[in-house]
């Protein structure tokens, strides 16, 4: 077993969040022992369908996948597998009912989930609008936004798994009477700091915007019309708020529910905090990501198809075992999760893979590679889930599902999701998710408690050394500027391959997201970041393009529009500007 050589930043993250501690908070586990703990716990699921010999074999396979950096599961699995906590899922959606008891039951369930390391999503669309009569008390309703502040306050005082701050997704339907308050909820720069916000829009709403028509606002209790708004005006408010603060994003609910594998169980109303997993109420999902940078032939110019297929098959089995070994903190979640057995296999290291292949992220070839890779991953995930269904049985809610109608016997109702991989990509020492390089040098904040990680891209160092450039001198310049764009004496091929996020047009980012989404049955988390001087009209164009491409959701972030953004360009504390008109997109900066 060959252990991945861990970077200083990887070790810092592991020590801060993942390695086990004793009662005196002293670390009592090495990185290798962590992976052995997780692998052993997952392999015990094999005893349900096989014998100890099989379990031992798969324990070795699972451990090798993680120690090599080929695959890593989501954070709660790394934190809690083989411990008394036992909660292994990353993503949850909790219903919020329109009663005081229902609202505070949701707050309680959120706390129970977040303390184990899970992120929570909510649709607040069932809550009556502000100032609506409350007949039981003779008072007036506070409205969704007011109650969201209670959830936000509770999250502030809960660390996920005792190791990181909580994360929420708040969703409101575009036809809710309080939609304008929701859109503007974060414009003060202070409110709802533990929430990402997304407006649940419909195709009919988007068509009404296009036609400059009005649309009805509907009371959530009985669907009666309470008013009308001009769709274009609401859309412009969304655009303006996103330009100013990064929130809200859009969820295209018709597309999401078109792909809902179990419509007979319920309609999807919300997603997890970063949007890559649309979930039913009281449903959770287990995520894991394979490292595309390690799926190349030894010379790095071609994809190792055999290794890719093998890693996908092993990863799907690993994630199905996670469901078997998981202990959900709430019985309703356990029931729905076991009924659908959703998993979310994703990727990290896409940008590193392209660089090693000599391909610019800003190219049609990058889009083609992404489409091909995701197609292969989805094909093999389907085959593996079918094989597991033959031995272990189909997921319990299969009868009545879209898969039954297709004659497709699967172990898992959903298989693929592209998550942000913020911390596990640091452990694997690769680029996050399907994002381009954010910068060649940057500061990463909010990853560790009151600690800032300064990073210089190791690929850049490797490439510069191979080109016999003065690496130390180049590093000094990019620590100041963040990119090669303004650095003299650098070969054009190097500038082309090492284009960073803010040098890449928005259209290219959306094209990459769409290429992956074509073979993703869940969704894709990717923020469309823009330079500080991008205009609101550019935000609007990106939203329209995302809808036209058939994406399930889209998030805009204009660089510098939040004081607490996760990544900061360069190593100096100064604003960074690009030429006006260049539309670009750095790494995921929402929670």
Catalytic residue among 74, 196, 272, 321: 272
Task: Give residue for tokens 């929670």.
Answer: 591
Q: In 10 A of CB 123, how many CB atoms?
A: 26
Strand segments, DSSP code E, in 343-465 are 343-348, 441-448, 451-456
Which SS3 state, helix, strand or coil, does residue 202 take? Answer: coil
Strands 119-123 and 91-93: parallel
What the block records as the tokens of 174 is 């575009």
What is the three-class DSSP state of 389?
A: helix
Instruction: Point out the catalytic residue in the list 46, 276, 435, 503.
Output: 276
Length of the chain: 591
Catalytic residue status for 260? no
For residue 14, give the DSSP letter.
I
Q: Which of 274, 285, 328, 584 is catalytic?
A: 274
Radius of gyration of the chain (CA): 23
Are the C-beta atoms of residues 425 and 351 closer than 8 Å to each other?
Answer: no
Tracing tokens 């997304």 back to the chain, one arrives at 198
CA distance 465 to 483: 17
Q: Which of 49, 50, 71, 76 is nearest to 61 (CA)?
A: 71
Question: CA-CA distance, 567 to 453, in Å (whole number)?
Answer: 10
The distance from CA 165 to its chain's CA centroid, rounded to whole angstroms, is: 16
Instruction: Please answer whether residues 589 and 562 qualify as being in contact, where contact means their C-beta atoms are separated by less than 8 angstroms.
Output: yes
Q: Are strands 553-558 and 527-530 parallel, antiparallel or unpaired?
A: parallel
Instruction: Give the residue carrying structure tokens 């970041």.
Output: 529
- The secondary structure of residue 580, as a DSSP letter, is T
Is 326 annotated as catalytic?
no
Query: Could you give the residue numbers annotated as active site?
Result: 272, 274, 276
């Amino acid at each position: 077993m060959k252990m991945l050589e861990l970077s200083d930043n990887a070790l810092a993250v592991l020590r801060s969040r993942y390695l086990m501690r004793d009662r005196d908070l002293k670390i009592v586990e090495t990185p290798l022992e962590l992976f052995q703990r997780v692998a052993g716990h997952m392999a015990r699921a094999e005893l349900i369908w096989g014998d100890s010999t099989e379990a031992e074999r798969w324990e070795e396979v699972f451990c090798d996948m993680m120690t090599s950096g080929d695959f890593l599961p989501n954070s709660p699995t790394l934190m809690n597998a083989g411990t008394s906590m036992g909660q292994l899922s990353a993503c949850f959606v909790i219903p919020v009912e329109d009663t005081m008891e229902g609202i505070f039951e949701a707050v309680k369930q959120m706390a129970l989930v977040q303390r184990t390391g899970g992120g929570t999503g909510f649709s607040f669309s069932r809550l009556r609008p502000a100032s609506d009569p409350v007949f039981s008390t003779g008072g007036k309703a506070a409205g969704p936004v007011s109650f969201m502040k209670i959830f936000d306050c509770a999250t502030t005082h809960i660390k996920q798994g005792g190791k990181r701050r909580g994360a929420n997704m708040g969703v409101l339907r575009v036809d809710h009477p309080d939609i304008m308050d929701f859109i503007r909820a974060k414009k003060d720069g202070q409110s709802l700091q533990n929430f990402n916000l997304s407006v649940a829009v419909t195709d009919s709403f988007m068509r009404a915007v296009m036609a400059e028509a009005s649309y009805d606002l509907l009371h959530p209790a009985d669907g009666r019309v309470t008013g009308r708004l001009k769709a274009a005006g609401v859309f412009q408010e969304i655009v303006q708020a996103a330009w100013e603060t990064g929130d809200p994003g859009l969820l295209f609910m018709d597309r999401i529910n078109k792909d809902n594998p179990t419509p007979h169980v319920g309609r999807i109303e919300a997603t997890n905090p970063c949007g890559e997993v649309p979930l039913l109420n009281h449903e959770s999902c287990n995520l894991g990501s394979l490292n595309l940078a390690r799926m190349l032939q030894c010379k790095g110019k071609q994809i190792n198809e055999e290794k890719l297929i093998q890693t996908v098959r092993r990863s799907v089995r690993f994630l199905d075992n996670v469901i078997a070994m998981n202990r959900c903190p709430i019985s309703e979640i356990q029931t729905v999760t076991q009924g659908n057995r959703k998993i979310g296999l994703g990727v990290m290291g896409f940008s590193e893979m392209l660089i090693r292949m000599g391909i610019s992220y800003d190219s049609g070839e990058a889009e083609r590679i992404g489409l091909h890779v995701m197609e292969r991953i989805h094909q093999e995930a389907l085959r593996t889930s079918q094989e597991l269904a033959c031995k272990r049985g189909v997921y319990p809610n299969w009868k009545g599902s879209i898969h039954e109608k297709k004659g497709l016997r699967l172990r898992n109702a959903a298989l693929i999701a592209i998550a942000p991989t913020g911390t596990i990509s640091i452990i694997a020492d690769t680029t996050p998710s399907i994002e381009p390089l954010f910068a060649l040098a940057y500061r990463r904040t909010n990853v560790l408690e009151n600690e800032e990680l300064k990073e210089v891209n190791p690929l850049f160092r490797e490439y510069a050394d191979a080109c016999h450039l003065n690496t130390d001198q180049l590093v000094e310049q990019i620590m100041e500027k963040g990119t090669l764009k303004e650095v003299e004496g650098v070969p054009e091929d190097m500038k082309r391959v090492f284009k960073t996020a803010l040098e890449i047009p928005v259209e290219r980012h959306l094209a990459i997201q769409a290429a992956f989404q074509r073979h993703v049955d869940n969704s894709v988390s990717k923020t469309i970041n823009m330079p500080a001087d991008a205009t609101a009209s550019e935000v609007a164009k990106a939203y329209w393009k995302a809808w036209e491409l058939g994406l399930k959701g889209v998030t805009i972030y204009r660089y510098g529009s939040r004081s607490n953004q996760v990544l900061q360009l360069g190593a100096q504390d100064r604003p960074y500007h690009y030429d006006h008109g260049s539309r670009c997109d750095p790494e995921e900066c929402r929670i």
